[in-house]
Homo-oligomer: A and B are copies of this chain.
Amino acid sequence: MLLTEMNKAQLEEFKAECEKAYEAYKAKGLKLNMARGKPGADQLDITMPMLDVLNSSSDLTSEDGTDVRNYGGLTGIPEAKKLFAEMLGVSPEEIIVGGNASLSLMYDSVARAMTHGVLGSEKPWCKLDKVKFLCPAPGYDRHFSICENFGIEMITIPMLETGPDMDMIEKLVAEDDSVKGIWCVPMYSNPDGITYSDETVRRFANLSPKAKDFRIFWDNAYCVHHLTDTPDTLLNIFDECKKTGKEDMVFEFASTSKISFPGAGVAVMAASKANIAQIEKILGIQYISYDKINQLRHVRYFKNFDGIKAKMEEHRAIIAPKFKLVLDTLEKELAPLGVGEWHNPNGGYFISVNTLNGCAKRVVSLCKEAGVVLTGAGATFPYKNDPNDRNIRIAPTYPPLNELEIAINLFCLCVKLASAEKLLAE
């Protein structure tokens, strides 16, 4: 029976049962975490052999003769550029291989725009009265934090099944030259797990922004992070932009954080040669080079893009059962009651649950009180403001399966309890 169809007495009884079960959970003294998209220890274990590929007898010379131990090689060693160029479908000349964090490549790209502007800027963005970014939401909280950090005004764009609302985006970028950028996670979006449709990608490649220095921040964090035999496919944004002559409009980012090690992976940025020339001048003031030994370690270990794909199959074997457990539990516990909606993603790191309106904060708070940490309610929206207070991001990868089972059952219970409270208060 749907919760919304219950009468007051039924709801009271339902709530009382939930409360009793909830007290039992609280008595367990749980300490579980489904807050961040962190790989579990078992996922990190599968990449441990990478630590053996370079040792004291290794030749640490890169393809172009560079001693990777020494200074130099600002934009990365050639073999790393090739590897990531293949992964992202661009040429090695369109690649900058960074340090261990794509987040810092993104932050630094915005920071450089603030202090210097991008290619085509008339002045640094910090000299403008107002800079605005479009923020498809639910989205990635750390993208929004970068905007807040630099005082960039965020405009929420609704996410549809095909990606962000392109009608709204086309209109806003065409009308307002203070709109300088948009954050996109085009494949297995954080948190919805939506992959942008071909039409959406083509419409991005066809954007005609009023601002000559508008940039699409294409955070392709989950480009190889498939979870099924029938993965989503994403059009190559650079291929599409080359057709429209607008390839300067895109900064693409990715990393091996969820391929090798989150704390010691290799990040990468793809951009047009003209953009890279502009970036390189400033980057050369900030860095002499990123960690080239770690770049070489990654290339020698993965060898090529097939090596990366093979590793992702290993990850899938570990995390697909976790996603299945969460989705099965949601289906079993929440679907019959009609108190939640979610996507069934084909990849990525998250399951995005929408509760009844006005319940998300209460659910997160109930979970926390019983020892299960979730991403803060609202975090998936600009200014942490979910207008309907309904979106919760579940990150199933970090806890071991047995802990995850407890956590997701508690979560469902909290959704039920919060929903009953909500309906009774109406």
Using a CB–CB distance below 8 Å, which chain A residues touch chain B?
Answer: 36, 38-39, 41, 44, 47-52, 54-58, 67-73, 99-101, 103-104, 107-108, 111, 114-116, 124, 126-127, 142, 145-146, 149-150, 257, 261-264, 282, 285-294
Chain B residues within 8 Å of A107, by CB: 285-287
Q: Say yes or no: B263 contacts A72, CB within 8 Å.
A: yes
Q: Say yes or no: A287 contacts B71, CB within 8 Å.
A: no
CB distance from A112 to the nearest CB of B (A): 9
Write the chain B residue with the least CB distance to A115. B114
Q: Say yes or no: A103 contacts B44, CB within 8 Å.
A: no
Residue from A50, A57, A289 having most chain B Cβ neighbours under 10 A: A289
Copies of chain A in the complex: 2
Q: Say yes or no: B287 contacts A103, CB within 8 Å.
A: yes
Which of B115, B264, B292 contacts A115 (CB under 8 A)? B115
A291-B291 contact in complex given A69-B262, A70-B44, A262-B70, C-beta closer than 8 Å: yes
Write the chain B residue with the least CB distance to A127. B126
Give 10 new A-B contacts, CB below 8 A, not counting A104-B287, A126-B126, A291-B291.
Answer: A44-B69, A55-B55, A69-B264, A70-B261, A99-B291, A107-B286, A108-B286, A264-B292, A264-B293, A294-B294
CB distance from A178 to the nearest CB of B (A): 18
Chain B residues within 8 Å of A145, by CB: 285
Q: Say yes or no: A71 contacts B263, CB within 8 Å.
A: yes
Q: Say yes or no: A67 contacts B49, CB within 8 Å.
A: no
CB distance from A98 to the nearest CB of B (A): 10
Q: Say yes or no: A263 contacts B73, CB within 8 Å.
A: yes
For the complex, what is the distance from the CA of A50 to the CA of B293, rounded to whole Å?
12
